[in-house]
Amino acid sequence: MFFKRIALLGTHTNPQVADTLNQLITWLSQYKRELVLEQQTATFIKNTTLANHQLEALHEHCEVAIVVGGDGNLLAAARHFSIHNIPLIGINRGSLGFLTDITPQNLTDELLPVLEKKYTEEKRFLLEGTLRHQVGESRGSNALNDIVLSPGDLARMIEFEVFIDSHFVCNQRADGLIISTPTGSTAYALSGGGPILHPSMQSIALVPMFPHNLTSRPLVVPDSSHIVIKLAPHLKTYPTVSFDSQLHFEVQPGDEIHIQKQTGRLRLLHPKHYDYYAVLRSKLNWEQQLY
């Protein structure tokens, strides 16, 4: 048993990504795999006659997707493929690589067993956020890492209230609020002083950004929680809400942001030897000697 229909995606600015994608195309073609490219990825892969499709339709043409690049590339793919139950494999051509864990140097040795369905699989949940304007319009998206309320172009404090499952939690004056999944706990939330949550934990972290009240601390709640952030109606600034730092919407005074767990989960495939704690040691420099 093996994955036969494979989608390939990659960032469009790094020439090393193009090199790895071309290597993959040559190598996987030898194994008679049916390959398809994401449409924008196809624009910088030269001399290929492979079919390509827009990201929104790519799930219809594959059993698994390989993402080449950094964690940002995998975040964008995860928001789409998680809805359609298509697993992702990450090949790291970025800097950190918490999610894209297969290295180009070990590409064939690590990737082939995964494609032969000899892998470790994780299922990670995403957040779903909806911005509800007072005028009645709503818009939103999903996020694998985090949904963040931030000041926008003007650096000044935001006033808002937080409710969880219809219970009032707090009034807050801060630069913003990070609502993070366990996956995102090693991203922006970590920089804000939030806890590192193991990916298997069913919880959501709320991390205030530079709060005015010094007793404000990160709060961890069950992943079943329905979180509502209500912006003060007298705000004199227009903050933004972002999804994985990739999609941004302007928030107006009096607006509400509703956040809960997305139904579909991301299926993330790793080599058999994958060890989450080894990733933490490597990426956070925990391997350094104390003396």
**What amino acid positions are annotated as catalytic residues?**
71
Spatial neighbors of 197 by CB under 8 A, at least 6 apart, are 180, 181, 182, 185, 203, 205, 220
> How far apart, in whole angstroms, are the C-alpha atoms of residue 279 and residue 282?
5
Cα dihedral 135, 136, 141, 142 sign: positive
- Identity of the amino acid at 291: Y
Angle (CA) 157-242-149 rounded to 5° is 25
Q: Which residues are annotated as a binding site for NAD(+)?
A: 71-72, 145-146, 156, 173, 175, 186-191, 246
Nearest C-alpha neighbor of 259 from the set 150, 153, 160, 181:
181
Are 224 and 212 contacting, i.e. CB atoms less than 8 angstroms apart?
Answer: no
80: left (phi over 0), alpha (psi -120 to 50) or beta: alpha
